[in-house]
Chains A and B, each alone.
Chain A
Amino acid sequence: MLNHYLPVLIFIVVALVVGVVPLLMGASLGPHKPDSEKLSPYECGFEAFEDARVKFDVRYYLVAILFILFDLEIAFLFPWAVVFDQIGMMGFLAMMIFLAILVVGFIYEWKKGALEWE
């Protein structure tokens, strides 16, 4: 069991090295001539006239919440699908009832306009 995840642990270290080394090489090999114009945030040639951390559309927040609901749903479906053959008709019907409840919620949120982006 553990010997399957040792390579992953080593891979994390290797991937970090492969990610950080080019960054360091780029920073050390490239020129370094900063000036205030170059270091200002890009805004089509204008001076930036306010901070970029502005209010943003609440729908992004809504999408994040919906994502949590559906991703949990997938987390439930994964183990169910893997043992599908062993749980028989009862297991299948139980998940269908669960899915039906989810679909009712999905229709409600659709009708409420939570998925509209116009």
Chain B
Amino acid sequence: MHDFYQTGWWAVIWSIIKIVIVVVPLLLGVAYLTLAERKVIGYMQVRLGPNRVGFRGSLQPIADALKLMFKEVIIPTSANRFLFLAAPVLAFVPALLVWAAVPFGPDVAISNMNAGLLYVLAIAGLGVYGIIVAGWASNSKYAFLGAMRAAAQLVAYEIAMGFALVGVLMLAQTLNLSKIVEAQAGGGFWSWYWLPLFPFFLVYFISGVAETNRAPFDVAEGESEIVAGFHVEYSGMAFALFFLAEYANMIFVSLLTTVLFLGGWYAPINTPLLTWIPGLVWLLLKTAFLLYVFLWIRATFPRYRYDQIMRLGWKVFIPVTIAWIVVVGIALETPMRAILR
């Protein structure tokens, strides 16, 4: 009995250590992603971006965080107080929780669970509650409109995302994210799933951009039409939590795309010249590249109209993904499976 408690408590302490090792760099990453975004978009628009705080603006995120900390948290009189304050937490908690299943190396994760992909899909789906509760509890027209749009959009793209994941499962034959990466080992660049599942790769990443409400799918915030959408009434740290959740989700979508389609921690070419570099470096490099694509997309494309967003989600992505599931299925039932496996 005593031993049981020993192992029990050690398990708890070890879990907390693992969580801290993931969450602290994640929050730092979020902070510096905001700086990277402003810098990258700045240079793309021939501006300098933030360059006053610290060396070339390197302390800007810290200054922003401190400033947000000392701002008033305004609760509008007509708002539902409890839900208004619960909404940012509801948006933020799932954005952290999805990281429990993310593998950073072979079997290296907070929880290397066997139903990893299912867990990720379930927890990521909870994020929509934060947005819709925020919009409803604010009792403001812009917030309400933004929340309705966001909910319908997230829901539409979640279906396309789910179908894209089915394709990965058909090839990998496991829900464990670590094993999904290992299933892509072998030939380097050419054995990763982006190639046989190319339509799914595109659909998944674009749906990821839509799921995180990023430009060009940012009608939920849409500064020029509904001001800031669902978080128009939020200020100070309450606003900051929505912001943190959005950026943490961006990093998560990029990392998961890497894990599912870009071979996770494997080097692009299978030579000793590249394979001696630790897998974590490859994983983070690929994630950083996809994050750069996020920013690149934002600086390049104008915002979609709402009916165009819904058309892309329902009338393009869903038919394409269903068709490609059938194609992959047929390929696996014929001698072509030797190429896919």
B75 CB → nearest A CB, Å: 7
Pick the contact of B311 from A23, A83, A102, A117 — CB < 8 Å?
A: A117
Q: Which residues of A contact B85 (CB under 8 A)?
A: 23
A54 touches B141 (CB 8 A): yes
CA distance A78 to B311 in the complex (A): 25
Q: Which residue of chain A has the shortest Cβ distance to B118 in the bound complex? A: A78
Binary interface encoding of chain A residues 29-44 relative to chain B, with 1 for a CB under 8 A from any of its CBs, else 0: 1111110101111111
Partner of A74, one of B138, B155, B163: B163
What residues on A are CB-neighbors of B97 within 8 Å? 8, 11-12, 15
**Minimal Cβ-Cβ distance residue in B for A30:** B72
A116 to B308, CA, bound (A): 10
| Chain A interface category by residue count | 35 or more
Is chain A's interface secondary structure helix, strand, loop, or mixed overall? helix
Q: Are B332 and A26 in contact (CB under 8 A)?
A: no
Q: How many residues of B contact A (CB 8 A)?
A: 82
* Residues in B neighbouring A43, C-beta threshold 8 A: 140-142
Q: Cβ of A101 < 8 Å from any Cβ of B?
A: no
- 1/0 per residue, CB under 8 A from B, across A97-118: the answer is 0010011001000100001111
With contacts A11-B19, A67-B159, A78-B175 known, what are 18 further pairs, Cβ within 8 A?
A4-B111, A7-B100, A11-B99, A14-B96, A15-B92, A30-B237, A31-B70, A34-B74, A36-B77, A39-B76, A41-B140, A41-B143, A67-B158, A77-B162, A77-B163, A102-B322, A103-B322, A106-B322
- For this complex, 7 residue pairs linking A to B, each with C-beta atoms less than 8 Å apart, are A7-B15, A20-B89, A22-B241, A30-B237, A41-B76, A81-B167, A85-B332
Residues of A within 8 A of B (CB): 3-8, 10-12, 14-16, 18-20, 22-23, 25-27, 29-34, 36, 38-44, 48, 51-54, 56-57, 59-60, 63-64, 66-67, 70-71, 74, 77-78, 81-85, 89, 92, 95-96, 99, 102-103, 106, 110, 115-118
